[in-house]
Amino acid sequence: AQKVTQAQTEISVVEKEDVTLDCVYETRDTTYYLFWYKQPPSGELVFLIRRNSFDEQNEISGRYSWNFQKSTSSFNFTITASQVVDSAVYFCALSGTLQGAQKLVFGQGTRLTINP
Amino acid sequence: DTEVTQTPKHLVMGMTNKKSLKCEQHMGHRAMYWYKQKAKKPPELMFVYSYEKLSINESVPSRFSPECPNSSLLNLHLHALQPEDSALYLCASSQGRVGTSRSFGPGTRLTVL
């Protein structure tokens, strides 16, 4: 079975602080894909990044960076110099290739609040 | 055009009403999805259409009836809903290949009285 765990239910920081959102996954597939989505109060899920299981290179996009470690089955997301506009619920998700390839398994989400 | 649109944005209906949610995308995506999201929970998959054919039904009650008239449109027909069906209904699309990301619409916030 596939599973995604986001242990942090809520995080609250002051603007300009760095914050890391944790994501741990379980899968038996050797090829799989990991995603992060952002859901602001408006409701729409915004795609942030996709990683396949063979690409362990970390990625940086502006203030956002992602650390993928297969050895610990983790795909953590760091926001540097956080801003109020980063306030949202963030979901980590997993898609396999053998079992339920059309399904996207979401974690429970982390509600991030950036205070001015 | 790189977005998924959904109408209406908000819908209030009684338990005896019949209504429909509509979703449209013009990105040439061949897979379309309906998700249901309750407050403070992740989206739950309801249905998947692949190349206009229903490929996954996650044991959704028959009071929800999906329809895919063509590759750009996806409808969700609602009939005799219960108050517990009140939720945010999200439509998504993807290229359909394994591992591709979904593009989500803004959702329809449904309230059943």
Q: Region A16-26: what's the mean pLDDT? A: 98
Pick the more confident residue, A22 or A103. Answer: A22
Cis before residue B8, ω within 30 degrees of 0? yes
| Chain A residue with minimum CA distance to B96 | A102
Exposed, middle or buried, B16 (CB in 10 Å: 0-12/13-18/19+)?
exposed
Look at A8-17, B2-11, B84-93 and tell me which has the smallest mean pLDDT. B2-11
Hey, how many other C-beta atoms are within 10 angstroms of the C-beta on B70? 8
Region B83-110 average pLDDT: 93
- Band the pLDDT of A99: cuts 50, 70, 90: low
How far is residue B24 CA from its own chain's centroid?
A: 10
Question: SS3 helix, strand, coil % of chain A, rounded to 5?
Answer: 5, 55, 40
Q: Does pLDDT of A43 surpass 70?
A: yes
Please tell me the predicted confidence (pLDDT) of residue B6.
Answer: 97
Determine phi and psi for A83, rounding to 5 degrees.
-130, 160
Distance from CA of B14 to the nearest CA of A (A): 23
What is the Cα–Cα distance from B38 to B27, expressed in whole angstroms?
28
pLDDT in tens, B1-56: 569 999 999 999 999 899 999 999 999 999 999 999 999 999 999 999 999 999 99
| A106 to B88: CB separation less than 8 angstroms, yes or no | no
Q: Rounded to a whole number, what is the distance in Å from the CA of A18 to chain B's nearest CA?
A: 24
Is B99 within 8 Å of A50 when comparing Cβ atoms?
yes
